[in-house]
Chains A and B, each alone.
Chain A
Amino acid sequence: MSYAVRGGQATSRLLSEERYVPADPQSPDKPLLTGSSQLLTARLHYYLPVSRQRQSIAERFRELVQTWKEDVGPLSSTTEMAMHPAYQQIIGLGRDAVPHLLRELQREPDHWFWALKAITGVDPVEPRQRGQIREMAEAWLRWAREQGLGG
């Protein structure tokens, strides 16, 4: 087995570790990434265990929404819904949760108004809209557009 860098100067400059990669003269078109692939493999392997992963806000939000939806029934009171631990944890995510709450509101209007109000400190819902989920959702999405938050 021979060890060499194949390809042009740019390749060897970009991937200096390639000098330790076995050359394969039988497959000149084969990508020259064996060495780098090993590094990538090592990196993926290292970060695979759960204890080395950091859950993103999006993942955490999705998990909490799912738990909340599964636990609270349609007949639950607004207070029961808002006091559910998963709902409280969503509020605990703070301002990072707002874009996700707005997207969720757009996708499937539900009782996210309490959380939005608790996090942002504003309430764009007019008194006549209270109790009308679609109208309340629209009020929040309008507010989001005005704030440049999309929605």
Chain B
Amino acid sequence: MADWPRFPNAPITEALLDIKAKLPAGVDLTRLATLQGAVKDLYPARRERSSWQGGFQVKPGELPEVFPPSGEPDGYLFTSKDGKQIVQARLDGFTFNRLKPYDKWESFRDEARQQWERYREIATPEIVSRVALRYINRIEIPLPMKDFREFILTTPEIAPKVPQGLAGFFMRLVIPDEKSKCIAIVTQTMEDPNERVLPLIFDIDVSQEAAFHVRGEEMWEVFAQLREYKNEIFFNSITERTKELFK
């Protein structure tokens, strides 16, 4: 494992540890709600979570068919007193969210694991089918700035004879890693700049799909690999000038 630097002013706005699981047929929302008893001391606020679906479909020779958004409750969000940590207990799995400020991997993983164990006891998942780590970074690039490459090495490229000004972009890359069998979804975009800074969103979501035993160590070993892959992408994408912003 590489020794990655830690920054006192890390740009992480949210870190997520996500476990997709298959629950037995008898486990419903009423059962998931009982998790509150186990987590209430640290996560006192409970909120219902809905999965929103909607969209439209186009078939040859037919008018587009619109499906209005519809929400079905699929779990609960338990929020910590300071609002910085959220445990999501859903019918399709578990997510632990940590909002800024992010401390370090070890404390993030340990807290997520502790809450997963509580979820596991109540939801009794049969199998884990996917594990994922997602880190959303918001890098405040100081203005004026001539080229994104001064700060980040993966950037949208505009043909040389086209005007080079960029008022906005949204870039999504899906990058498989043969070595670790992980997939990274890297999303880069920019928020509206002010006079001082241009906020660049650098979102790295790494995952692995496989069948993991719900009690085993294996998936936690995979989380360590996911973190390595995430860090490889992050640290190999930013420049020395960017690192200075985080010190």
Stretch from A59-67, A107-115, A123-131, A138-146 that touches the partner: A59-67
- Enumerate chain A residues within 8 angstroms of B13, measured Cβ to Cβ: 51
B61 part of interface (Cβ distance < 8 Å): yes
- Enumerate chain A residues within 8 angstroms of B57, measured Cβ to Cβ: 31, 33
B59 part of interface (Cβ distance < 8 Å): yes
Complex formed: what's the CA distance from A94 to B138 in Å?
A: 32
Complex formed: what's the CA distance from A37 to B36 in Å?
A: 36
Contact A50 B86 (CB under 8 A): yes
A49 part of interface (Cβ distance < 8 Å): yes
Complex formed: what's the CA distance from A52 to B64 in Å?
A: 29
Partner of A6, one of B60, B77, B187, B205: B60
Stretch from A39-47, A73-81, A97-105 that touches the partner: A39-47
In the complex, what residue of chain A is closest to B85 when comparing beta carbons?
A: A50
Contact B187 A32 (CB under 8 A): no
The answer to whether residues A29 and B48 also contact, given A45-B185, A45-B205, A49-B97 and a CB cut-off of 8 A, is no
B230 CB → nearest A CB, Å: 15
Contact A49 B64 (CB under 8 A): no
A96 CB → nearest B CB, Å: 18
- Enumerate chain B residues within 8 angstroms of A52, measured Cβ to Cβ: 136
B68 part of interface (Cβ distance < 8 Å): no
- Enumerate chain A residues within 8 angstroms of B48, measured Cβ to Cβ: 62
Complex formed: what's the CA distance from A14 to B136 in Å?
A: 33
A69 CB → nearest B CB, Å: 11
Contact B61 A7 (CB under 8 A): yes
In the complex, what residue of chain A is closest to B14 when comparing beta carbons?
A: A51
Complex formed: what's the CA distance from A92 to B63 in Å?
A: 46
B245 CB → nearest A CB, Å: 19
The answer to whether residues A14 and B64 also contact, given A42-B172, A45-B205 and a CB cut-off of 8 A, is yes
B243 part of interface (Cβ distance < 8 Å): no
B192 CB → nearest A CB, Å: 15
A11 part of interface (Cβ distance < 8 Å): yes
Contact A7 B60 (CB under 8 A): yes
A148 part of interface (Cβ distance < 8 Å): no
Contact A67 B60 (CB under 8 A): no
CB within 8 Å of A: which B14-31 residues: 14, 16
The answer to whether residues A15 and B58 also contact, given A45-B187, A49-B136 and a CB cut-off of 8 A, is yes
- Enumerate chain B residues within 8 angstroms of A50, measured Cβ to Cβ: 14, 77, 86, 97, 99
Complex formed: what's the CA distance from A126 to B241 in Å?
A: 69
A25 part of interface (Cβ distance < 8 Å): no
CB within 8 Å of A: which B43-91 residues: 44-48, 55-61, 63-64, 77, 86
B134 part of interface (Cβ distance < 8 Å): yes
Complex formed: what's the CA distance from A51 to B48 in Å?
A: 17
Other A-B pairs beyond A10-B63, A33-B57, A50-B77, 20, CB < 8 Å: A11-B60, A14-B58, A15-B58, A29-B60, A31-B58, A32-B58, A33-B56, A37-B55, A40-B55, A42-B172, A46-B170, A46-B187, A46-B189, A49-B97, A50-B97, A51-B136, A59-B47, A62-B48, A63-B45, A63-B46
Please give me the 6 A-B residue pairs with the lowest Cβ-Cβ distance, nearest first: A7-B60, A51-B14, A63-B47, A49-B14, A50-B97, A31-B57
